[in-house]
Amino acid sequence: MRRKKYKPKLRFYIIVLSIVIVLGFILSFENNTRNKNQKKVKKTEIIEKEMTNNGKTLYISEKNLYAVYGERFILKIPLYIYISKSKKLENLVNRNRYQDVLDGLNQMLPEKLENYNKITTENLAQILNVKEKMMPTIEFEKKIYVNTYGLAMLFDEEMREGENIENNGIIDILNANGIGGYAGKVGRNLTEVLGYEYNAANYEKRTDYTYLINKKLTRHQLEQIVEQIPEKNIKIKKETGIATLADAVLILGKDNGNLTYIMIQRNKKLDYKNFEKLQKSGYRNLHRVKSKKEIKETKIEYNEEDYYTAYKISKKLGIKLLVENNNLKNRIEIKIGG
C-alpha cells in the first residue's frame, strides 16, 4: 500500500493561509485599540467643550457625582450620601433617575447646576485640569448627609478665591464674662492684627461658652478671628435677637470649668502626647481611652455648633481632618489612627 504524500503546492497554501489569519488578527486588534483610544480622546474633547460652554454641569459616573463649576473647582459627591431620609444618591442613579438627583442637589447647592451628563471616567479633575473638592458631610443616625453649613463655607471660599478680601468689616464684641474692659481689649487686638473695626459693649447676661454669630464673613476670616482670642469653648450661634449692622458678633463667655467634654481615643494604648499638649494649653475635661475598634485615620469629630472649638484643637495638635458628627453633644472626639 503506497503512503500518501502532501503536494508542495498544498503545503504552500496552508502556510500562506496561516500567515494571513495571524496578520488579520493582529491588524484587527490594533484597529480596535486605535478606535478605543480615539473614543477616549473624543470623550475628553466633548467633556472639555461642555465645560467651556456651560460651567455648571453635573457629571454622573458609576461611583461618584462630579459638579463642575467652570474652571474654579469640581465638587466630588460620593453616591453613599443621602439627600433626604429616604433618598440615597446611589439608589437614584441605579434607577436612572438623574433629574431627581439634579433637583435634589440643587436644593442644597449654593450655586445651582444647570444640566447633567453621564460619563464613565473617575478622573475628571485630571482631564479638565481643575482642582477637586470633597462634598462636606455629616453623620446622623448611621446615615451620611450633606453638611450644608460646611458646603456654604466651601462655596464662599472657592467662589471668592483670588479676590482681594480685606478685613475691613465691623465686629460687635459683647462682654459676657464680667471682666471689666475685656471686650475693648479683644477688639483692639483684632484691629491691630486683622484690621477690623469693632463695637464693644456688655452682654445682657453671663455665659460660660463664647458664641460666634456670622453675618457676612467667610470661614477663613472667622477662623482668623478665633485664632486671635484665648477662649477655647466656642459655639456657633445661628439665631439671635441682637439687632446689628455688624459683619459678625462675638459674645465672650467665662470659658472656665468643665465645659466641652474632650475624648482622645487611640488604638490599643492610651495617648499621652496629645493629652499633655492640650492639658498644657489650658484645656479641661480631658479624657483618654484605648479604642476597642481599629482607628484607620487620625481625625477630630465634632457637632456642627462646636466647629471652632474643634478647629482650635486641630491647630494645637496639627490634625487636618475634621469630621462633623451631630450625634455628639458638647463633646469633641479626637481619634488617633495608626
Burial (CB count <10 Å: 0-12, 13-18, 19+), residue 121: middle
Highest mean pLDDT pick, 18-22, 127-131, 203-207: 203-207
Backbone angles phi, psi at 309, to 5 degrees: -65, -45
Q: Is the pLDDT of residue 39 over 70?
A: no
Q: What does 147-162 look like in DSSP terms, one character per residue?
A: -HHHHHHHHHHHHTTT
Per-residue pLDDT tens digits for 68-107 = 998 888 899 999 999 998 999 999 999 999 999 999 999 9
**pLDDT confidence of residue 188:** 97
- 136 vs 24, higher pLDDT: 136
**pLDDT confidence of residue 167:** 65
Average pLDDT (161-173) is 72
Cβ proximity of 195 and 166 under 8 Å: yes
Average pLDDT (111-128) is 86
Q: Is the pLDDT of residue 137 over 80?
A: yes
Cβ proximity of 228 and 189 under 8 Å: yes
The fraction of the chain above a pLDDT of 70, given in percent, is 82
Backbone angles phi, psi at 21, to 5 degrees: -65, -45
Average pLDDT (4-21) is 63
Domains and CATH numbers, the chain: 56-159 (no CATH), 170-252 (3.30.70.2390), 261-336 (3.30.70.2390)
d(CA 245, CA 237): 17
**pLDDT confidence of residue 32:** 57
Per-residue pLDDT tens digits for 198-222 = 999 999 999 999 999 998 888 889 9
| Closest to 104 (Cα-Cα) out of 154, 60, 46 | 60
**pLDDT confidence of residue 40:** 43
Q: Is the pLDDT of residue 268 over 90?
A: no
Average pLDDT (1-6) is 49
Q: What is the number of other CB atoms lying within 10 angstroms of the CB of residue 59?
A: 21
Average pLDDT (298-324) is 91
Radius of gyration of the chain from its Cα atoms, rounded to whole angstroms: 30
What's the mean pLDDT when you consider all of the chain?
A: 84
**pLDDT confidence of residue 47:** 53
